[in-house]
Structure 1
Amino acid sequence: MTLTSGRFIGHEYDRMIVRFSMHDGAREIPCAISTSAMDDLEGGPQVKPDQREAQFIRLRDRIEACAASKYRATEFEGTPPGIVLRGIDFRP
């Protein structure tokens, strides 16, 4: 199945990640992206914690495309298994 957009869950300052989800049919897939990866994608300075949701929304298409690619490759991490995106995942 193809992954579809899920929900923005939130910014975890202590872990330096943004959590979100995607859906494979009715199944919710937990996902996360490092804040440094998002800053690298924008090519600008680090944004403030209260701006992370807006940054995620701006980058959502690129983030979700990368998450879908890792999902198809079954590159899961953690418990429960999910998709974790880092800066290296966006390099050509």
Structure 2
Amino acid sequence: MALTSGKFRSYDCDRSVVLFSMMDEATEIDCAVSTTAMDALDGAARTPANQREPQFMRLRASIEALAAQKFSKSELEGHPAGIILRSIDVRK
């Protein structure tokens, strides 16, 4: 089954990630994307903190497609297992 959109959670400035979720049927999968990865996708350099949510929303389809690829390859991390997108995932 393909992942579907979940929720935008927050921008965690301490970890420099945007937290969001995706759904595997009824199961919510925790996800994160680094701000460096988002800037690489956006062709931007150091997006201001107050623009992280709008940036995520603008790039959401691309970010979720990358997360779905990692999920399909069972590239989950942490406990509970989730998806973390880094700049290297954008360059592949």
TM-score range, shorter chain: over 0.9
Q: Which residue of 2 aligns with 1:58?
A: 58
Q: Which residue of 2 aligns with 1:14?
A: 14
Q: Distance in 2 between matches of 1:29 and 1:71?
A: 9
1:85, distance to aligned residue in structure 2 (A): 0.1
Q: Is the 8 A contact 2:40 2:90 kept in 1?
A: no
Q: Which residue of 1 aligns with 2:24?
A: 24
RMSD: 0.7
Q: Residue 84 of structure 1: SS of its match in structure 2?
A: strand
1:45, distance to aligned residue in structure 2 (A): 2.1
Q: Distance in 1 between matches of 2:31 and 2:44?
A: 23
Gaps of 5+ in 1: none
Q: Is the 8 A contact 2:36 2:87 kept in 1?
A: yes
Q: Does 1:81 align with 2:73?
A: no
Q: Distance in 2 between matches of 1:52 and 1:18?
A: 8
Q: Distance in 1 between matches of 2:16 and 2:39?
A: 11
Q: Which amino acid aligns with 1:42?
A: D
Gaps of 5+ in 2: none
Q: Which residue of 1 aligns with 2:2?
A: 2
Q: Residue 63 of structure 1: SS of its match in structure 2?
A: helix
TM-score (norm 2): 0.97
Q: Which amino acid aligns with 1:7?
A: K
TM-score (norm 1): 0.97
The number of aligned residues is 92
Q: Which residue of 2 aligns with 1:35?
A: 35
